[in-house]
Amino acid sequence: MSQYVVGLTGGIGSGKSTVAELFVEQGAGLVDADAIARELTVADGVAMPMLTAEFGRKILSPNGALDRAAMRQLAFADPSIKNRLECILHPIIRKISTERCRAATEPYVILAVPLLVESGTYRDRCDRIVVVDCPESLQIERVMARNGMSAEEVKAIMATQATRQQRLLVADDVVVNDADKTKISEQVKMLHSNYLALMAEKLKASC
């Protein structure tokens, strides 16, 4: 069981997944809240009966999985829909992510949560918080390239997330991802050594 949990967050397109993979290459465990959300919403995912009962079949793609774009449109149009969606998904994601952090065998676990700052309950579960940060213009550029969205669509998503400043305020560590990937890999290596040392200290203190 991993005794040490590092919460990893950042705005959309900041580079969370990229940085998380670099930690895994170093030997960290990874529990990814977004990946769990996707598992829950495939065609036979455990959340699908509840979501269909709540929102109807209009949220389904032809293969029966959650149509994420359709759901996003509905949630944008009506904030109460976003709330109802989160009330269904978040408790299940929290439960599964806790179980996976406990079951991990690596020295520490990266718990990647896009909305960690927005959700107090995740902060309480982390020994340390690392924020991936970059200028907003880069976030927009990267998500446009990755998802084929317009700048307006990306900005609309960013407006629903914590601000850059709010994230930096809760950060114990920051990975600055404003240049090429070599720069982040150096930062991750240094943080990895630090997390191993902190994990060892925590273990000693609990003996």
**Burial class of residue 57, CB neighbours in 10 A (0-12, 13-18, 19+):** exposed
> Judged by CB under 6 A, does residue 97 bind ligand ADP?
no
Spell out where the chain has E strands. 5-10, 29-32, 109-112, 128-133, 173-176
Residues 32-61 within binding reach of ligand ADP (CB under 6 A): none
> Judged by CB under 6 A, does residue 13 bind ligand ADP?
yes
Contacts with ligand ADP by CB under 6 A: the residue count is 14
> Judged by CB under 6 A, does residue 161 bind ligand ADP?
no
> Judged by CB under 6 A, does residue 2 bind ligand ADP?
no
132 DSSP β-pair partners: 10, 175
> Judged by CB under 6 A, does residue 15 bind ligand ADP?
yes
Which positions ≥6 away from 88 have C-beta within 8 Å?
47, 50, 51, 54
CB atoms within 10 A of CB 27: 11
Distance of CA 4 to the CA centre of its chain: 17
> Judged by CB under 6 A, does residue 180 bind ligand ADP?
yes
> Judged by CB under 6 A, does residue 18 bind ligand ADP?
yes
In the complex, what is the shortest distance from the CB of residue 130 to ligand ADP, in angstroms, rounded to a whole number?
12
Q: What residues make contact with ligand ADP under the rule CB under 6 A?
A: 10, 12-18, 142, 146, 177, 180-181, 184
